[in-house]
Amino acid sequence: MTYLKKSLVFAALLILILGLSSISILAQESSGIPFDKLKTPTKLQDIVNNFDKLEYKFSSFKAGEKIQQINVKFQYQGKEKVDNLQTDKIFIESSTNKSSQISQMTFWLNDGQIVKLIQDKQQIPATIANSMKNKFLQSIFFPFYHFEELNLKKIASEAKVTRTQEMIDEKEIDIIKIESDNLAESGLESGSVKLADFEEFMMTVGFTYLTLEEAEAEYDEALFEVTGIELR
């Protein structure tokens, strides 16, 4: 299978299944959430700048039955010279419970541009890699793009907001959880979002939602969860 076909099949698979003790805080106090610190990563450079490791899973359900789960692992592997250019080396692995196949990609990135790409042991020309970069990266990190589309500040103003601490990858993380059953404007029946507060910035580390009954969707429930994280 050609690189272009493989990339499109991989992107289509992801997009298909995605479609898209606590202290309670009163809803009117949700403005106290430091939304100016919210920096959900939607670009590869965002990931490179902030993380040594980022792992997540996205599961979709229909009538209570899991129909698919995607697992993604990102790992920063340091600096490396390629064609006399200083690059950031990045490894991404993705898999699904629908297949035993594991997709692996290694990028060498310079100033936001792919200098070299190896996908499943096949080297891809840099020109082709850069032309496809946005499409397949958006498919890989789709949960973060999906989250960014939500008007979270407005949702939080009318939602239940709690603060707690949770373990992620054996690390205790400060979590702000926003729960709402008034999400019809977003095409949802109900949902919750978990924000991790890392002092210097916040990002989403999880969300769940139920779609509206009248919505014609491939699934009616979704779960996104960051399972591993190491900051740079």
Domain count for the chain? 1
pLDDT of amino acid 23? 35
Mean pLDDT of 189-205: 90
User: In what side-by-side order are the strands of the sheet with 160-168?
Assistant: 23-25, 160-168, 171-180, 188-197, 202-211, 221-231, 51-62, 65-82, 85-96, 102-110, 113-119, 122-124
In this model, does residue 30 exceed pLDDT 80?
no
Range of the domain at 124: 3-231
Interval 65-116: pLDDT, tens: 899 999 999 999 999 999 999 999 999 999 988 878 889 999 999 988 899 9
In this model, does residue 7 exceed pLDDT 60?
no
